[in-house]
Amino acid sequence: MRIAILSDLHANLPFAEAAVRRARMHACDRIVHLGDAIDLGPWPGETIDFLIAEGVEMIRGNHDEYPILGLTPEVDAKLPDDIRAHMNWTASQLGADHLALLAGLPPLVDSLVDEWHVRFQHFLLRDNRVSDEFLGDDTQSYYSRFGVNHGHIVCFGHIHQRIWQFDGSRGILNPGATGFHASGGAWFAVLVIREMSVWVEWHPVESNAGYVVNELERRAVPGWKSSATYMFESVAT
């Protein structure tokens, strides 16, 4: 079984297209997006439509929650005005079908793949919502934070950091950010499981960051300069 693991596309349609196209070229049996399909980029509805059309399995991220469940008190208290305006704009671009789909996305999915229990989630959960707690830099502690037992592999996103940690009996995988430059670029991972053997292939997402920035400006997306700097600091000049 070859499972393409994408995460944090953040309304970046060209990067979504490039990642899915590459996953198809590498004969992936499943494609899973670990959440945050929207916010930051200029194509929120279009990105959701593309993922649905391509049969990508979708997990609910914190940014996917905000248009349907509202901001958590912790996020609401610290959100800058330009980011709040951008998030309101994102919500205004979504139709009733998009909102219904986001409302129905699961926060967590468990799968049995050969001998392995594979869990897909965006991040830690609290009261069935994505938590905003800080994980810290001790990746060994992630096993306990995510409750990773022997025979389990947990795939998560959110922190935009590529991680593959495997001790032979359990694993933690984060593909990094698929929708913008983080951890040295935009990435997705392919989790390969063949009976008791498990490994990960890393794939860069090759697309035009400048086009995304130009489209943010052309569409006059609120807070577009902040989004461009966060997504592609090297080209947002």
Cβ neighbours, 10 Å, residue 167: 11
With 70 as the cut, is the pLDDT of residue 86 above it? yes
pLDDT in the model for residue 19: 98
pLDDT in the model for residue 237: 43
Average pLDDT, the chain: 95
With 70 as the cut, is the pLDDT of residue 69 above it? yes
Higher-scoring residue by pLDDT: 153, 132: 153
- Between 16-25, 117-126, 225-234, the lowest mean confidence (pLDDT) is in 225-234
User: What confidence tens digit (pLDDT) does each residue in 189-198 have?
Assistant: 999 999 889 9
Q: What pTM does this model have?
A: 0.96
Asked whether the beta carbons of 92 and 81 are under 8 A apart, the reply is: no
With 90 as the cut, is the pLDDT of residue 149 above it? yes
Distance CA 93, CA 64 (A): 13
Tell whether 237 is covered by a domain: no
User: What confidence tens digit (pLDDT) does each residue in 7-50 have?
Assistant: 999 999 999 999 999 999 999 999 999 999 999 999 999 999 99
* Structure-token match 């009996």, residue found: 169
* Structure-token match 């990642």, residue found: 19
CATH number for the domain including 16? Answer: 3.60.21.10
**Which pLDDT band, with edges at 50, 70 and 90, does 235 fall under?**
very low
Instruction: Tell me the mean pLDDT in the region 128-154.
Output: 94
pLDDT in the model for residue 184: 83
pLDDT in the model for residue 34: 98
Distance CA 129, CA 168 (A): 31
Tell whether 236 is covered by a domain: no
HEC profile of the chain: CEEEEECCCCCCHHHHHHHHHHHHHCCCCEEEECCCCCCCCCCHHHHHHHHHHCCCEECCCHHHHHHHHCCCHHHHHHCCHHHHHHHHHHHHCCCHHHHHHHHHCCCEEEEEECCEEEEEECCCEECCEECCCCCCCCHHHHHHHCCCCCCEEEECCCCCCEEEEECCCCEEEEECCCCCCECCECEEEEEEEECCEEEEEEEECCCCHHHHHHHHHHCCCCCHHHHHHHHCCCCCC
Among the listed residues 83, 13, 63, the one whose alpha carbon sits nearest the alpha carbon of residue 229: 83
Quote the number of domains for the chain.
1
**Which pLDDT band, with edges at 50, 70 and 90, does 90 fall under?**
very high
Query: Residue 58 sits in which domain range?
Result: 2-217+224-231
